[in-house]
Amino acid sequence: MKKEIVSIINGVGMIALSTGVSSAQETSYQATNESLVNYQVPEWYQDAKFGIWAHWGVYSVPAFGGTHAAEWYPRHMYDQTNANGHYEHHQKTYGDNTEFGYKDFIPMFKAEKFDANQWMDLAENAGAKFYTVVSMHHDGFAMYDSEHTKWNAAKMGPKRDLTKELIDAARARGLRTGISNHFAFNNAYYDHMFKFGGDWAEEYEDLYGRGSEKMDEWGLNRWWNVTTELVDKYSPDLYYFDWGWNNIAIRDHFVGQPQRFAAYYYNHAVKNGQGSYGAPGVVMNFKGKVLPVDAAVQDYERGGKTEVSPNVWQCDTSISKHSWSYSVHDDYWPSDELVDSLIDVVSKNGVMMLNFGPKADGTIPAEYSDRLLDIGSWLKQNGESIYATRPFDVFGEGPTVRTAENRQEIHRNGYNYGSKDIRFTRSKDNKDLFAIALGWPEDGKLTVTTLGKGKFDLSGLKTINLVGSDSQLSWSQDEQGLHITCPEKGEGKFAYPFKLSFGAEIPKLQAAK
């Protein structure tokens, strides 16, 4: 019989020991990598390709990003070095943080104009297939009715279960739902307060924690209770974790916890009828290397893969360039860049989860909503090349690519894709290939070098047309590539999917790079 032994020893973390194998393991997950790799990414997620989420909470009240990010205001407002500008701003605007601390923003967070149905209408119109609620950020204020912390939106501030309202509204529209949990970092998040001083008192420790130097069994149990409570209350289709358990100050305490939670979550999903052992029907996101890539879905923040990945992965990114929550001063990626980035992610077997930042009152600034609607408009016309697709042999071609060397430059300045940048996707039945040009070919000809003679067999090609148009396009092929004669440019914008329809399966590339 395989027996799992869980213990917390001197605050170091959980140790899972196992011996033998039993039939019980064939129907339930254990907190081991060996058990958890019996996992399949659900088809609904592979088909969805695009979801959205919002960073919204008490930190939306000051709405000040400084030189870092507005959602990190609770941490930096106690940093007397003023490295990011938050400390000085707080002292000038609200007074000394020993008198007016982060907790004092809570009564100001009223969400008085928040309407979950309006948010989900926007999600639908943006073309999103799932919506993820940031139910607990690093700050320790729960955006739901929690039994494990009084510092929650149902008892303070708005006095509403905001998570439930959003999940109910999403499900009413047929959207899949997710939970985002950033609570692991909470015990180190307020370390500046413990170094420089602030408004900490024992009565506030369930909000502020005890500091990374006092991370112990209390802190770990506090995290576990909140983390599993969100599963029990909402049975989400997706559960996203930020990087907190990778933080050097506290990571030793979280050894084994990702495995412990994954087993809990997957078993809950099976019991709840969301899936079965081996295919629990849910997605757990993780960052770094805390889990095997076959046990869950790895996430890359504002980043991604350089080639097609054999494993489905996720890119979480934001419309805003600097902050994730609303900031009075921020810059925003143009709609064209966001659409192109979505296409690039999908071409590499990825899924995008795109963030927006509402104001404290629950309204969504036009800088976000306009861009989401632009994406939705593009997907309405061209979604056939994105939804329910699978990656081709290679992700694409062109001068604009992501590499390990240029990722920081891309993070600052974006990709600036052009008409020579092409990304591939294919239909799930492997009969239609999409070559998506990330700009309109100004000379009226699209050349796809990857599909040149000797590299790709086009003898079975039936038709080529722009997605959304029935007009067949003329083409030719030589060693330099596939040459497509483009129609007159219509009302489309951002990116242009050319659909290559085969009567049978798409041929394999003969010389895939």
Tens digit of pLDDT for each residue in 448-474? 999 999 999 999 999 999 999 999 999
C-beta of residue 52 within 8 angstroms of C-beta of residue 123: yes
Confidence of residue 5 (pLDDT cuts 50, 70, 90): very low
C-beta of residue 228 within 8 angstroms of C-beta of residue 170: no
Res 322: pLDDT? 96
Q: What is the pLDDT of residues 491-505, one digit of tens each?
A: 889 999 999 999 899
Task: Please indicate, yes or no, whether residues 214 and 88 belong to a single structural domain of this protein.
Answer: yes
Residue 308 lies inside a defined structural domain of this protein? yes
Residue 24 vs residues 20, 71, 281, 322, 405: alpha-carbon distances, Å: 11, 44, 20, 48, 47
Res 490: pLDDT? 79
Give the strand pairing for 50-54 and 130-136: parallel
**Res. 20: pLDDT tops 70:** no
Residue with token string 């609620």: 133
Mean pLDDT score of the chain = 94
- Please give the distance of CA 461 from its chain centroid, rounded to a whole number: 36
389-424 burial, b if ≥16 CB within 10 A, otherwise e?
bebbbbbbbbebbbeeeeeeebeeebbebbbbbbbb
Residue 28 lies inside a defined structural domain of this protein? no
Task: Please indicate, yes or no, whether residues 455 and 410 belong to a single structural domain of this protein.
Answer: yes
Q: What is the pLDDT of residues 368-409, one digit of tens each?
A: 999 999 999 999 999 999 999 999 999 999 999 877 777 667
**Res. 25: pLDDT tops 70:** no
Residue in 302, 380, 372, 376 with CA at minimum distance from that of residue 344: 302
> Which residues contact residue 200 at a Cβ distance below 8 angstroms, ignoring those fewer than 6 apart?
190, 193, 194, 208
Q: What is the pLDDT of residues 273-313, one digit of tens each?
A: 999 999 999 999 999 999 999 999 999 999 999 999 999 99
User: What is the rounded distance in angstroms from the CA atom of residue 303 to the CA atom of residue 383?
Assistant: 23
Where does a domain end: 330, 357, 390? 390
Residue 66 lies inside a defined structural domain of this protein? yes
Where does a domain end: 364, 390, 416? 390
User: To the nearest whole percent, how much of the chain has pLDDT over 70?
Assistant: 94
Residue in 136, 160, 158 with CA at minimum distance from that of residue 231: 136
Name which residue leads in pLDDT, 27 or 169.
Answer: 169
Residue in 368, 430, 340 with CA at minimum distance from that of residue 393: 430
Query: The domain containing residue 243 runs over which residues?
Result: 43-390
Continuous segment of H or E residues that includes residue 53: strand 50-54
Res 511: pLDDT? 64
Task: Please indicate, yes or no, whether residues 306 and 221 belong to a single structural domain of this protein.
Answer: yes
Task: Please indicate, yes or no, whether residues 355 and 431 belong to a single structural domain of this protein.
Answer: no
Q: How many domains does the chain have?
A: 2
User: What is the rounded distance in angstroms from the CA atom of residue 432 to the CA atom of residue 78?
Assistant: 56
Task: Please indicate, yes or no, whether residues 365 and 445 belong to a single structural domain of this protein.
Answer: no
Residue 242 lies inside a defined structural domain of this protein? yes
Mean pLDDT of 218-241: 98
Where does a domain end: 347, 371, 390? 390
Task: Please indicate, yes or no, whether residues 341 and 459 belong to a single structural domain of this protein.
Answer: no
Handedness of CA 445, 448, 449, 455 (dihedral sign): negative
The CATH number assigned to the domain holding 468 equals 2.60.40.1180
Task: Please indicate, yes or no, whether residues 434 and 487 belong to a single structural domain of this protein.
Answer: yes
Res 240: pLDDT? 99
C-beta of residue 74 within 8 angstroms of C-beta of residue 59: yes
**Res. 15: pLDDT tops 50:** no
User: What is the rounded distance in angstroms from the CA atom of residue 361 to the CA atom of residue 350?
Assistant: 33
**Res. 1: pLDDT tops 60:** no
Task: Please indicate, yes or no, whether residues 325 and 438 belong to a single structural domain of this protein.
Answer: no
